[in-house]
Each structure stands twice: as structure tokens, then as C-alpha cells.
Amino acid sequence: MTQTTPSLPSNSNASSLSKVRVFVRRRSKRPKTTSLALQQHDLQPPTRDDHYKRSSFPEIEDFAYSGANAITQSSKSEMGLDVTLVESEAASTRPTGELPAHWERVLEGIRRMRCSAEAPVDTMGCEKAGDTLPPKERRFAVLVSSLLSSQTKDHVTHGAIQRLLENGLLTPDAINNADEETIKKMLYPVGFYTRKATNLKKIANICLTKYDGDIPSTIEQLLLLPGIGPKMAHLVMNVGWNNVQGICVDTHVHRICNRLGWVSRPGTKQKTRTPEETREALQRWLPKEEWVPINPLLVGFGQTICTPLRPRCGECGISDLCPSAFKEASNSSPSSKPKKSGPNKKR
């Protein structure tokens, strides 16, 4: 994700804004692996039926990026939502699109890599915003975090959320009553902080006047808010309301799904052109229980290994399964390039 470097607003009081809360890193329950290579038993491709025979969601708690599943599993009662309905809906949904070859082995390989290294999204992603707050306040925090996250790195968004929180400005009421200059100072150096401050004021007012101080609870209503696009709306539905309506596809998910050959434009083998096209293509085949965890999984993978420029294919545990392996400029030395073998070999 690219980040702009906005100019500091006038009358900025940076020193008063520098206090940030430190997250305590949660230790993974599973011993970390040093080898990213897939084991032989992983090379038996499961069928779609095998996938749906699973009695529960994947073991996401074991991974460093556990936030998404923690929401669907352990925060259900806290959210006060009918999660049984959400889960039964997910279990009964059977995407009908054609499954990409080896997709479960690729997913498992990425999970293994994500176990071995923490990414910024694991501690500072939008899913983490306000995670100690009561449900209603937390939903607003997730919405604000989503708004701020575009064109902004996770740690910068996280810093702005912490400043708003510490200054008592992370509620619709407080934002509505604050002057816009104060909001700008809190948001800086978030990308497009001036425009986002304006939109945040408007959103707070809409939440107060139309939703009794809460946030909208449908995709359609969320998309009517200024500055909120499909990626953010789906993330807010998934995290804020625990109501999975679609996959949150950001630039990392969009890029990696295309590199893996998981998505294409309808009726073609060409890459999708936009995150929205990727979302629609991915939803045609990806089982619904993966719709929430796929975002933090691939975002973290994109932040650490499958980076936008010079992906680290030489360190990637699924390079023998990836059709894009070593095709883009890599910072891996030529000698580290493994010989292609196995399922990714041209047949």
C-alpha cells in the first residue's frame, strides 16, 4: 500500500500527540516452524467435499493473524449478534465457480509462512481498532479505521486511531462536536488527512442523526457514507457487525490473487483489473468460511513475502505452486531460484 506524505497542518502540537498505546504481542500456541516447505502429505489435493466435511472453521487461532477469526469465534457474545445465523448461513453457502488447482495447498502454505513471521496487519490492522471498547464504540472505531486506512500504512492508521481514542474523540458525538482543525491534527500524517477529516465529521453527523449514534448495518447504507468504498464496507460488515456479506479485497488481496491465478476477468484468463472485480471472481469459488480470514492472511503475506515490488519468491514456501513465481523482479539472488518441479511444472 502506498503512502502519501502530507504536509503538517499549521498549529500542530506533535508532542502532545506522540503518546501511543503499545499492544502486547500474543504468543502463538503452535510452535513456530523454521521450514516453509510443504510436507509430502500436504501434496494430496483435497476435494471440495473434503473441505465442507470439516466440522469447524480452520485453526485460525493458531496463526499470528488471528484477529479475523477471533472476531467470528470469541467475540460473538460480546458483539450481541446472532452469530449462529451468520455461521449457518456461511456453512450453507456453496460457491459454484470452478476451483483453482491446488488452492487448498496454496492456502495452507501461506498459513505456514504467516505463522513464522508477524506482519503489521496482525497488530495494527483495522480489525484491531478499538478492540477493547464496548461493541457500539468498537463498531465506530472500525469504521473510522477503515476510512483512514486507504493510501495509508497500517502503523500510521493505528497511530491516528490511538490519538483519537486518547483524546476522547473516537465516538460520533465527540467527532461531531470537535472542530475540523482538531480532527486534522489527530489524523496527521494519515494520507489525505484533510479530506478524511471532513468526511469523518460528516460520517459522525450521519451516525447521530440516522442511526442513533451507531453505524449503518448494511453494505448499501455503509456505501452511502462519504469516503467509504466496497473494501471498507465489507470489512466493517465483517468485523463491526460480524455479518459476512463479501470479501474485503484490498490492494494486497487483489495483487496476490492475480499472481496465484485465483481470479480472472469473466470468460477470460486475463487478470482482474480492480479489487472489486477480484472480489466478485474470488467469491465465485472461495468457500464462505474463508471470506473473513482471507483478508488478514493475504494482507500480511503481501506485507512480508509477496510484496508489491520484488516479491521474495526465493523465500516463498509455495513457489512451486505459484504460476507467477520468479516472473517479477525479485530481490532473491539467481542462485536461490529453485528448479521448478512438482505440480507447478508445465503440463
Active site residues: 231
Residue 136 to residues 66, 94, 131, 241, 287, Cα–Cα distance (Å): 22, 32, 11, 10, 29
Residues 124 and 36: their CA atoms lie apart, in Å, by 25
Count the neighbouring beta carbons within 10 Å of the beta carbon of residue 346. 5
Contacts of 76 (CB under 8 A, 6+ apart): 83, 242
Count the neighbouring beta carbons within 10 Å of the beta carbon of residue 315. 16
Residues 324 and 79: their CA atoms lie apart, in Å, by 40
Toward ligand SF4, which CB reaches closer, 183 or 305? 305
200 φψ region: left (φ > 0), alpha (ψ -120 to 50), beta (else): alpha
Grid coordinates representing 319? 513457489
Count the neighbouring beta carbons within 10 Å of the beta carbon of residue 99. 17
Toward ligand SF4, which CB reaches closer, 60 or 313? 313
Q: How far out from the chain centre does Cα 327 lie?
A: 25
Sign of the C-alpha dihedral, residues 103, 277, 145, 4? positive
Angle, CA 36 vertex, CA 31 and CA 40 arms, to 5°: 100
CB of 319 to ligand SF4, least distance (A): 4
Please name which of 309, 327, 330, 306 lies closest in space to residue 318, comparing C-alpha atoms.
306
Count, residues in the chain: 347
**Position 2: which residue type?**
T
CB of 31 to ligand SF4, least distance (A): 23
Work out the burial of residue 229: count CB atoms within 10 Å of its CB; fewer than 13 is exposed, 13-18 middle, 19 or more buried. Answer: middle
Toward ligand SF4, which CB reaches closer, 207 or 298? 298
Grid coordinates representing 296? 488478514
CB of 35 to ligand SF4, least distance (A): 15
Toward ligand SF4, which CB reaches closer, 21 or 340? 340
Toward ligand SF4, which CB reaches closer, 92 or 341? 341
Toward ligand SF4, which CB reaches closer, 131 or 315? 315
Which residues of the chain form contacts with ligand SF4 (CB under 6 A)? 259, 305-306, 311-313, 316, 318-319, 322, 324-325
271 phi, psi to nearest 5 deg: -65, 150
Please name which of 307, 295, 195 lies closest in space to residue 249, comparing C-alpha atoms.
295
CB of 166 to ligand SF4, least distance (A): 38
Residues 186 and 205: their CA atoms lie apart, in Å, by 18
Toward ligand SF4, which CB reaches closer, 194 or 324? 324
